[in-house]
Structure 1
Amino acid sequence: MGALLLLLLVLFTAGVPIALALGIAPLPTLMDRNIPLIAIPQVIFESLDSFALMALPLYVLAGRLMQFGGIAERLVHLAVALVSWMPGGLGAAVVLTSMMFATISGSSAATAAAIGSMLIPEMERQRYPRPFSAATTASSGELGVILPPSVPMVLYGVIAGVSIGDLFIAGFLPGLMIGLSLILVVSLTAWAKGYGKRVPFSLGVWAPDVWRALRRAALSLMMPVIILGGIFGGVFTATEAAVVAVAYALFLGVVVYRKITVRDLPRIFADAAVTSAVVMIIVAFAAMFAFSLNVIRAPQTIGAALASVSENPLVFLLLVNLFLLVVGMFMETFAAIIILAPILAPIALSYGIDPVHFGLIMIVNLAIGMVTPPVGVNLFIACGIARISMEELMRPLAVFLAILVLNLMVVTYVPGLSLGLLR
């Protein structure tokens, strides 16, 4: 197992693309065990032959249609109307919009890009420092994969054999807790340092503004109601819900809001196809890597090693959190789920940990990885929009990371938060 992981690390260090590294690293192991190489295409095609996995490219396409179809813009206006009176109101609006957009897009990067491109320039005009604006956008963007629907949840459900609908339900309360804690951090920081413009609260002004914004965003807000209501009500599966999301987003963008023209559609479809293809290639070759780990009985070896350290599930969860936080700093989320879920999920089950709860722990861990250097995708998006360097972002980001890790500990050791709505 050591040689397999070492070869993978060497390939990553050498700059080999993630998908190719995951496909090349298992070859020596398979040849050493005299496994015919015909097993490679068989494992790859079997990993992609999944009805549930069809939801992944569909949610990607739905997210693109929402991003360009005027849905994000209306959600931004609603969030600003709701919380602009608070200290740091515009920063709080970034988090609140991310929470609303997360219930539609299913993607952390899409959430950070859509919200940041609209609100970071406005925060700069209202005297928020650009590093703080970027840190707010990057950290709140992680809600895109915690609040349902979530593309990583779909992937984890397929890999670990867990109900995707149950994972979606389990993500509600943790996502709300994380979002509200980020709003609190933004508001307290802005109040202490004098960021942004203070708008005195007046019910006579606030209520009409909220009503106007709510009317404009009403059809956009119906999307999570239709998608999640249909899943939880048993009307359609998570995969069928992705089809409904695409159709509804297309209808709003083209017919209702008229932000998307027929001429725009090929570009949007091509963009979604490229993104989906990249993810699917990673999924395919990561499945090959996971197969080689099973060949050398890596799950059993790691499980025995953890059991020798402690038989206490609380200690196991602490070790898993530390491990996943480090992994999330260096490995792409989809690859990490496909490689580690088949190893860690059975071990967690042997400790008596609910598989849905453990899935949320993995998702929240790897979501934090999206906002940690050196490869946090949300950081690059936020820095690009704010036109700052990664070094400038680190100081304000540290506070947000501390809060995110604190939330992770609550999600880990209070299973009722994830499982309460399932009971």
Structure 2
Amino acid sequence: MSIEVIVDAIILIGLLFLGVPAPLCFAAAALFMFFMGDFSNSNFLVSSGFSKLSSLILLAIPLYIFAGGLMTSGGIAHRLIDLAESLMARVKGGLGVVVVFSTAIFGAISGMSTAAVAAIGSIMIPKMVERGYDRGYATALVAASSVLALLIPPSSSMILYGWVTNTSITAMFLAPIIPALLLISCLSVINYLLTRKMPVIEPPAQSFRESRLDVWCKTKRAAFGLAMPVIILGCIYGGITTPTEAAAIAVVYSIPVALYIYRGLSFRSFSDVAWKTGQIAAVLMILVFFSSMLARIWTLENVPQAVLEFMLGISDNKLVLLMLINLFLLLVGMFLDDISGVLLASPMLLPVAQSLGVDPVHFGAIVGVNLGMGLITPPTAPILYFAGLIGNSSLPRMIGYSLAFILFGYFPVLVATTFIPELSLLLPELILDYQSLSN
């Protein structure tokens, strides 16, 4: 590995550590190698960046974000929470379970953890505090649950992973589902244990008939929102559309639902959602352009091979190497958002994983769970800090609860996902007849 590549990696990591926006960090690293590297013709680097931007797969991400924004402004988050609360809020600590399930469902609509924090957290944190839950606990639970958006399809992270690694995006939508269900179960159990001694105020008791009627009414109110992920995934796995076409259908579906059925979306809020989606798409395009250039440069400089040789030099034991890969992904997740983390780590570590016999689909599930855990892991924990802003809670009030969710929720699921390939390969093999490396 040349001295220029080492300096380039230091520039990238140093800027990320200082909190510089990720697109600018990748731009600085790419431009450094562009001018300092020994390339006889640099035009192909620029063309490689533009060629990546021309992919129709990338169009799915802003379309899903746009559809999620429309449904959020249209009142879908309130209806999902009302439905979940009618099902679970009368159980001890049930409001916490409402948070977990609401963020999971909302993740299936928006595909982004920050959107889940903003939509669910702004409603549920004040409600939980009123019911006697500790504010730090409520905020930490929202942060931990919101990361489910990385695993529940249609996940932006899984779209990018499939695009970067040339892996089936349809398979990548399926791979993290079982780990996500395990994580939902773990978070719900942890919530029950942590809230037993909190002075939680339970809602008034209802008869079975009243409870059934309440659930039925709220299910009808939330039906159009609940139908959205069913339509998206049904179109994809039914072979009717590609993921990008399904994203376009989601936008077309969400506009009349938000405007005329839920009537929570005005033409002004529609333009606001479109403007914010455009901003996110512009930042994403810049990030993809420069990260593609940097990935191409590092490939020419044999960086993936150097990483492989370095790790194999430490140990040839598969268990040890998988632990090293997970540690690297955890550190990436602590300092980067999930999209930047996928773009940086996936092309670098996939050759290492494949040398160990790890299937690309299986590795994608590992990446999703691990980067998600990094987003709520101190000291950086970007999603945890964002949730603190939404919930008006400081890090010291959240840190203990967050560590409990990490140690007893995310870590066991990560270990299971890493060392039990069937958890991520079962659904792709059953539904898509996917042929994994183990077959």
Q: TM-score, normalised by structure 1?
A: 0.95
Secondary structure in structure 1 of the residue aligned to 2:348: helix
| 8 Å Cα contact 1:60-1:276 kept in structure 2 | no
| 8 Å Cα contact 2:156-2:339 kept in structure 1 | no
Post-superposition offset of 1:376: 3.0
Post-superposition offset of 1:199: 5.7
2:230 corresponds to: 225
Structure 2 residue 84 is matched with structure 1 residue 79: yes
| 8 Å Cα contact 1:86-1:199 kept in structure 2 | no
1:186 to 179, 185, 191: 191
2:26 to 1, 11, 22: 22
Structure 2 residue 410 is matched with structure 1 residue 404: yes
* 1:209-248, Cα deviation, whole Å (9 max, x unpaired): 2111111111111111110011111010111111111111
State the AA in 2 paired with 1:350. S
Structure 2 matches for 1:250-289, cutoff 5 A? 250-289=255-294
Structure 2 matches for 1:151-300, cutoff 5 A? 151-197=156-202, 202-300=207-305
2:8 to 4, 7, 13: 4
**CA distance in structure 1 between the aligned counterparts of 2:318 and 2:121, rounded to whole angstroms:** 39
Q: Which moves more between the two structures, 72-81 or 190-199?
A: 190-199
Unaligned runs of 5+ in 2: 430-439
Pairwise CA RMSD: 1.7
Post-superposition offset of 1:263: 2.7
| 8 Å Cα contact 1:282-1:334 kept in structure 2 | no
Q: Which moves more between the two structures, 346-355 or 113-122?
A: 346-355
Post-superposition offset of 1:82: 0.8
Post-superposition offset of 1:293: 1.2
**CA distance in structure 2 between the aligned counterparts of 1:11 and 1:95, rounded to whole angstroms:** 34
Post-superposition offset of 1:73: 1.1
Q: Which moves more between the two structures, 343-352 or 219-228?
A: 343-352
Structure 2 residue 427 is matched with structure 1 residue 421: yes
State the AA in 2 paired with 1:413. F
CA gap 1:313/1:205 in 2 versus in 1, 3 angstroms: farther
Post-superposition offset of 1:144: 0.8
Unaligned runs of 5+ in 1: none
**CA distance in structure 2 between the aligned counterparts of 1:13 and 1:102, rounded to whole angstroms:** 28
**CA distance in structure 2 between the aligned counterparts of 1:26 and 1:318, rounded to whole angstroms:** 29
**Residues matched between the structures, number:** 423
State the AA in 1 paired with 2:307. I
1:134 corresponds to: 139
Secondary structure in structure 2 of the residue aligned to 1:191: coil
CA gap 1:15/1:326 in 2 versus in 1, 3 angstroms: closer
State the AA in 2 paired with 1:5. A
CA gap 1:198/1:50 in 2 versus in 1, 3 angstroms: same
Post-superposition offset of 1:207: 1.7
CA gap 1:169/1:5 in 2 versus in 1, 3 angstroms: same
| 8 Å Cα contact 1:81-1:213 kept in structure 2 | yes
| 8 Å Cα contact 1:230-1:241 kept in structure 2 | yes
State the AA in 1 paired with 2:155. S
Secondary structure in structure 2 of the residue aligned to 1:52: helix
Post-superposition offset of 1:34: 2.9
Structure 2 residue 361 is matched with structure 1 residue 327: no
2:434 corresponds to: none
Post-superposition offset of 1:194: 4.1
1:344 corresponds to: 349
Structure 2 matches for 1:308-319, cutoff 5 A? 308-319=313-324
**CA distance in structure 2 between the aligned counterparts of 1:376 and 1:98, rounded to whole angstroms:** 18
State the AA in 1 paired with 2:33. T
Structure 2 matches for 1:111-130, cutoff 5 A? 111-130=116-135
Q: TM-score, normalised by structure 2?
A: 0.92
* 1:93-147, Cα deviation, whole Å (9 max, x unpaired): 0001111111111111111111111111111110111000001100000001111
Q: Which moves more between the two structures, 115-124 or 334-343?
A: 334-343
| 8 Å Cα contact 1:84-1:199 kept in structure 2 | no
2:106 corresponds to: 101
**CA distance in structure 2 between the aligned counterparts of 1:307 and 1:262, rounded to whole angstroms:** 57
Q: Calculate percent identity across the aligned residue pairs.
A: 37
| 8 Å Cα contact 1:127-1:196 kept in structure 2 | yes
Post-superposition offset of 1:264: 2.2
**CA distance in structure 2 between the aligned counterparts of 1:152 and 1:241, rounded to whole angstroms:** 17
**CA distance in structure 2 between the aligned counterparts of 1:184 and 1:32, rounded to whole angstroms:** 53
* 1:192-214, Cα deviation, whole Å (9 max, x unpaired): 44434266575333222211111
* 1:234-273, Cα deviation, whole Å (9 max, x unpaired): 0101111111111111121012111112232211100111
2:65 corresponds to: 60
Post-superposition offset of 1:78: 0.6
**CA distance in structure 2 between the aligned counterparts of 1:173 and 1:270, rounded to whole angstroms:** 35
**CA distance in structure 2 between the aligned counterparts of 1:416 and 1:81, rounded to whole angstroms:** 35
**CA distance in structure 2 between the aligned counterparts of 1:116 and 1:200, rounded to whole angstroms:** 26
| 8 Å Cα contact 1:88-1:196 kept in structure 2 | no
Secondary structure in structure 1 of the residue aligned to 2:401: helix
State the AA in 1 paired with 2:414. L
2:367 corresponds to: 362
State the AA in 1 paired with 2:139. A
| 8 Å Cα contact 2:136-2:397 kept in structure 1 | yes
